[in-house]
Amino acid sequence: MATSNTAYQPAVYNTGILRGDTFSESFTFATGGVPLDLTGASVRIQLRNRSGGVIGSFENGSGIEAAEDGGAIVWTIEGSQTAAYAPGLYQYDIEVTTGSTVRTYLSGSFTVLKDITV
């Protein structure tokens, strides 16, 4: 009997923003209850439209700040960037590379809503 192993599937978290607002959200990663050591790690996030086109790409020092201890990152998209995003549903994931190990810890949808005050 075959069983399913979800140990390497990313957790799912859906989020979003009003177009033109600044987005800033923090995430903490742990394995077995122990915070992930991000010392020397490369963290990348890509935001893609439904056809797969990249509308935003973020990495350490460019939209992502990583705390080396504690497994925490902060993902920030400036309002000037989100102002260029068309309202709609996008997809993202968070990929962490440590040495030669690449792991996607989180993925989900990213909704951009039409702004009211412009």
CA–CA gap between residue 82 and residue 94 (Å, rounded): 18
Report which of 76, 67, 84 is spatially closest to residue 19, judged by C-alpha positions: 84
Predicted TM-score (pTM) of this structure: 0.89
CATH of domain 13-113: 2.60.40.10
58 C-beta neighbours (distance < 10 Å), count: 20
pLDDT of residue 15 exceeding 60: yes
Domain ranges within the chain, ordered by starting residue: 13-113
Each residue of 42-98: pLDDT tens digit?
Answer: 999 999 999 999 999 999 999 999 987 788 999 999 999 999 999 999 999 999 999
pLDDT of 69: 75
